[in-house]
Structure 1
Amino acid sequence: MSLKARLGWLIAIVLTAMLAVNVAIMIGHAGPRVRAEAESIEHLSHELVETALASVQETKNPIPSLRRLFDSLRNLRHIEIEILPNDDTAPNFDSQLRSEIKNGVPDWFVSLVAPAPKVDIIPARVGDVQYGNIAIIFNPVDELAEIWSDLLWLGAISLAVTLLMLALVLALLRRTLAPFDSLGRGLARLEAGETAVRLDLRGASEFRDISQKLNSLASTLDRVQEENHSLIERLFAVQDSERRDIARDLHDEAGPCLFSIRAGAATLAAAASGNFPDRDLLQRSCANIDAAGQALQTLLRRMLERLRPPAMSELGLETALRGLVASWSDGRADVRLSLRIAHDLSCLDERSALTAYRVVQEALTNIFRHSSAANAEARLEFVEAPPELAGAAEALRVVVEDDGVGLPEEHRFGLGLIGMSERVHTLGGVMRMERRPEGGTRIEVLLPLPEVEELPEAEEREGDDL
């Protein structure tokens, strides 16, 4: 059963109960009302009879006077007065009165409200002579009929008012709960993947608040969807860039090496086919082939390190970073590069370690390609997590900085920095990139480490200036 139906039934039951209580109260008051009226009429009738008897005490034949008096009293409500002979017994008026009472009045109401018919007998004595008996009969027919009529009238009014109130409450309830329908349709559209859902802020404050939150949720989902599309495009662009770089390296470096090897092999074959091989030619060819093989091996090692550093899984993050720094220093002696690691990094999980390696790798790549720096430094250490890393106790801090030309005024992230930023954000980290006051660029990355309980301290180990 829906909430609207439940509330409607609850309100209907409450109003019906109120109507039943009102009717019960009216019926409960009817009995005391009839009994009070009976006691009052009984007392009045006794006074009338006693007064009449007192007025005819000096009369020789009081019967005609009494009859005339009592005939004039027949118009009294709820009472009948009869004069009975001495030898006549008190009549049984119960069945007669009951039949009169039930005329138009339900039996259950008579049983609840009407008192038992009562007949009082007063001797009609004048002096020493008794001329018969005076019967005073209480008849509540008129009173019960009036009470029943009033009860029907009040009950009808109460029923009409109850039905009117029920109709008004149900209409108000339907209008009040109308925003539920729009909320349901909005949620269904969100479930179907529509993010352009916006609800009108109407109804009670609770509905307006829920509608506002649903609109905010739809806006957030819309923004997240756009960010996901943008991220997917960036990932495709990064993949395409990596493929182009690999293809360029294979074409520009591996191609000449392979050509040199084939040329050397052809030279060796030609020299070996003669009767008197040229010893110097053979040595030069072997040297060329060896140099080409070494160059090809270096290229493959560099490409493998770009895809996944082999030293990472075997020797750990620190060894992989020192190897990375050594490889850059060997190729670019014009830049003085140093690596500082303040703590033991072996406690890092694989994802955090790989992300830290990629951050240093991409930062150094940008330094050697674009910064024109003379000095560069990379630092790794464990620090207390800042407020931006909610839920983390400690964090890995990676800082790479140089003294080069620094960031341009309108700097835009390239694919490498975009990939670095996405890696960091995936782990819930924070990345900052800024221009140093003394010149150059500074990149700082904080990676959360919620499960690190104890950070092993060590003396600051500074890599050789390579």
Structure 2
Amino acid sequence: MARRAARNSILTRLVLIPAAILAFGILAAVAATLAGARARIASEMASGFALGDHLIRYALDDLAAADPAAQKAATARLAEALAQVRHIRVAFVAPDAEAPGPAAAREAAGAPGWFTALLRPPEMAKSYPILVAGARRGEIVMKAEAADEAAEIWSGLVFLVALLGLLSLAIVSLIIMTARHTLRPLRQLVEGLDSLGRGEFAPLPDVEVAELAAIGAHFNRLSATLARSQADNRLLIDRLMSVQEAERKELARDLHDEFGASLFGIRAAASCIVEAASEKTVGPAQKREIVERARSVSALADAIQKQNYRILERIRPMVLRQMGLAEALRQLVETFRAQGHDIACAVEIAPVAAARRFDEEASLTAYRVAQEGLTNVARHSGATRARVVLDVAASPRGEEMRIAVEDDGEGPPPELRSGFGLLGMGERARKLDGRLVIGRSAFGGMRVEAFIPVERAEPPDHSPTPAEPNGAAAVHDDHNAQEASP
């Protein structure tokens, strides 16, 4: 896996691909140079050979016509002139000397023999007899030489390869430096992702590469969002623990103050009843006392029942199970009005929502959203009227229950910071795969609405039962639908 990652590295690709192209370019330049080298050497050798041939012919004509004293000077001039001609080798052979063998190839400085042998064209050689007054005085042997031109080609090739190699090395070094500078934001992004995995939400520094600046900006926004989410989660956890502890304290206080006193009163009244009933003679006064004690026990039992209902209603509204979500919302609005708020509150329930049977979790979530929404209206909105809306609408994911709380107050601030109430409502909706939307209401104030997915309802059966007339059956079905709507 590590080798594969190395092969797929962007830096490796950015370096290897240009390096391969440059290496191919160097090889192409060498090949192009060598492709014309043999013809170049042959051309130079032919040129030098032709020049030497002319010089030797002219010199031999002069030798043949000159006197003995001038012959020596002409021979010296010929030797000096031939020494200046490149790419040939000239040898003077005496009349009685053996014929010269093949001359060894001269190697110019820096030109290896294999290179000269690789580029040497076909051998060119010619002999010229020296005739003086009709007598043969020896001969001049001229051969073409490729070593000089091969050395020039070799030195030029070495210089070309060195120059292109240095340029390629400089280009690859610049590519490496540029790639590392360009890919630095990616490394910072990887380090930032590792930090996110460890729960650290430090933002990235400003990215100087224009193409990667958007990635850095999105990462910083993501980091800030995650930091806020983590802070909100911690606040929710702290709030949950505080609420749980407050609920426990309140339950303990209610149980101690209300239930304890009522149960003590029941015990005392029951003892008095037992004591009065155990007397041998029970007169009218004792009977009245027994009746009063019994009524006291009944009143205490009623008080315990009311206190128990109040506690249960605070923990989990019983009206949801007994009468359904629609009636629970109506009672919630009535309770809100009865609390003395100077806010005109109304409830609007669509007929399709009033007739639906929602499951218990969806009903409880909608009820809590409405409850918390009205609490926020009373505490923070500064509104004069509010409205609770319950409806069912189709969505791409299926049917959704919509519960909304609207007011005509100040509306949402430009930068809304969710408090415990909004965070709690959002978490309740997300728990059921729903969502919470906050915006401006039709009244000009704030609108908090939750969309909760619900199962598609089956068409209700309005057919009358055999045991009841049509009207009675319809009333019975409506009542059951209302009770079963949580």
Quick check: TM above 0.5?
Answer: yes
Change (3 A) 1:354 1:103: same
1:192 aligned onto 2:202: no
Which residue is 1:286 aligned to? 294
Q: 222, 232, 236: which is aligned to 1:227?
A: 232
1:342 aligned onto 2:351: yes
Q: Contact conserved, 1:102 with 1:110, CA < 8 A, in 2?
A: no
SS class of match (2:266): helix
Change (3 A) 1:36 1:364: closer
Report the Cα offset of residue 118 of structure 1. 2.3
Which residue is 2:469 aligned to? none
Which residue is 1:27 aligned to? 34
Q: 5, 20, 45: which is aligned to 1:38?
A: 45
Q: Contact conserved, 1:424 with 1:431, CA < 8 A, in 2?
A: no
Which residue is 2:117 aligned to? 111
Q: 209, 217, 220: which is aligned to 2:214?
A: 209
SS class of match (2:451): strand
Distance 1:400 1:180 in 2: 46
SS class of match (2:298): helix
Q: 111-120 or 183-192: which moved more?
A: 183-192
1:383 aligned onto 2:387: no
Identical counterparts, % of pairs: 30
Q: Structure 1, residues 331-353: CA drift from partner, whole Å, max 9, x if none?
A: x9999998845226656454322
Q: 78-87 or 168-177: which moved more?
A: 78-87
Distance 2:148 2:423 in 1: 99
Which residue is 2:468 aligned to? none
Q: 266-275 or 142-151: which moved more?
A: 142-151
Which residue is 1:395 aligned to? 400
Distance 2:278 2:440 in 1: 63
Amino acid at match of 1:80: R
Q: Contact conserved, 1:431 with 1:443, CA < 8 A, in 2?
A: yes
Distance 2:129 2:418 in 1: 125
Change (3 A) 1:13 1:216: same
1:303 aligned onto 2:311: yes
Matched residues, number: 439
Report the Cα offset of residue 431 of structure 1. 5.6
Q: 77, 82, 88: which is aligned to 1:79?
A: 88
Change (3 A) 1:185 1:410: closer
Alignment of structure 1 residues 142-161 onto 2, 5 Å: 142-161=148-167
Q: Contact conserved, 1:342 with 1:380, CA < 8 A, in 2?
A: no
Q: Contact conserved, 1:15 with 1:166, CA < 8 A, in 2?
A: no
Amino acid at match of 2:89: E
Distance 1:40 1:245 in 2: 118
Change (3 A) 1:378 1:143: closer
Which residue is 1:275 aligned to? 280
Q: Contact conserved, 2:129 with 2:136, CA < 8 A, in 1?
A: yes
Distance 1:79 1:367 in 2: 111
Distance 2:179 2:406 in 1: 66
Distance 1:379 1:178 in 2: 53
Q: 214-223 or 164-173: which moved more?
A: 164-173
Q: 347, 365, 384: which is aligned to 1:355?
A: 365
Which residue is 2:474 aligned to? none
Change (3 A) 1:421 1:68: closer
Which residue is 1:388 aligned to? none
Which residue is 2:435 aligned to? 428
Report the Cα offset of residue 48 of structure 1. 4.6
Change (3 A) 1:233 1:273: same
Q: Contact conserved, 1:97 with 1:117, CA < 8 A, in 2?
A: no
Report the Cα offset of residue 244 of structure 1. 4.8
Q: 424-433 or 132-141: which moved more?
A: 424-433
Q: Structure 1, residues 31-74: CA drift from partner, whole Å, max 9, x if none?
A: 2221111222234444455566777888999x969956753542
Amino acid at match of 1:198: P
Q: 248, 255, 274: which is aligned to 1:250?
A: 255
Q: Contact conserved, 1:395 with 1:446, CA < 8 A, in 2?
A: no
Which residue is 1:238 aligned to? 243
Distance 2:127 2:451 in 1: 111
Report the Cα offset of residue 114 of structure 1. 2.0
Report the Cα offset of residue 401 of structure 1. 8.2
SS class of match (2:435): coil
Report the Cα offset of residue 274 of structure 1. 0.5
Q: TM-score, normalised by structure 2?
A: 0.68
Change (3 A) 1:457 1:8: same
Q: Structure 1, residues 370-408: CA drift from partner, whole Å, max 9, x if none?
A: xxxxx99865321356xxxxx655432335689xxx979
1:101 aligned onto 2:111: no
Amino acid at match of 2:125: V
Gaps of 5+ in 2: 1-5, 380-384, 463-477
Q: Contact conserved, 1:424 with 1:447, CA < 8 A, in 2?
A: yes
Q: Contact conserved, 2:262 with 2:303, CA < 8 A, in 1?
A: yes
Amino acid at match of 2:451: L
Q: Contact conserved, 1:381 with 1:397, CA < 8 A, in 2?
A: yes
